[in-house]
Amino acid sequence: MTIIKILRVEQTHLYTIGVISVDTITKGFTLELPYRQNQQSISCIPPGNYAIKKYRSSRFNRTCIKVCNVHDRVDISIHPGNKISHTRGCILPGMQLRTGTHGILQTNMSSKCLGEVLSCFRDIATLSIESTF
C-alpha cells in the first residue's frame, strides 16, 4: 500500500510547515494551521496514521484527498490552497514555499503538487504525519 508522509518541520503561532513525500520521494511542502488541541476549524490534526482516499470535491471541482477517521474531527482533506486563510484545519500542498503578505509563509503551485501526490496511488492509501518539534 502507498504511504504518503508529512513530516512537520516548523510551527509558529500562525502556521505549520511540512514536507510531503510518497514512498520516500519528496513531492513538495504542506501548509497547515498550528496545533491547537485538535479543535475543529482552528487546528491541524494530530500526528498519526490515517486512511486516506480520493474523492471528487464539488467545492474545488476536482479530485482531492479525504483524510478518514480523524478523532473528533470531520471534513479533513488535502486540497489546493496557497495561504493559511485557505484552510480551516485541512492540509494545503505546494511545490514551493514563499513569503507572502506580512511575512507569512505560503505555498505555490498547490494544484500541481496535489496532482503529483494523487498520481501516486489508486483509490486508498495511508497518510503518516510526524513532527520534528
pLDDT in tens, 69-95: 999 999 999 999 999 999 999 999 999
Q: Is the dihedral of CA 58, 61, 66, 72 positive or negative?
A: negative
pLDDT (0 to 100) of residue 103? 65
Selection from 35, 28, 8 nearest residue 110 by Cα = 28
Query: DSSP states of 92-118 as a string?
Result: EEESEEEE-GGG-EEEE-HHHHHHHHH
pLDDT (0 to 100) of residue 14? 93
pLDDT (0 to 100) of residue 102? 65
pLDDT (0 to 100) of residue 76? 98
Q: Are 89 and 33 in contact (CB under 8 A)?
A: yes
pLDDT (0 to 100) of residue 105? 77
Number of domains, the chain = 1
Domain enclosing residue 92, as ranges? 3-131
pLDDT (0 to 100) of residue 99? 83
Which positions of the chain have pLDDT values less than 50? none
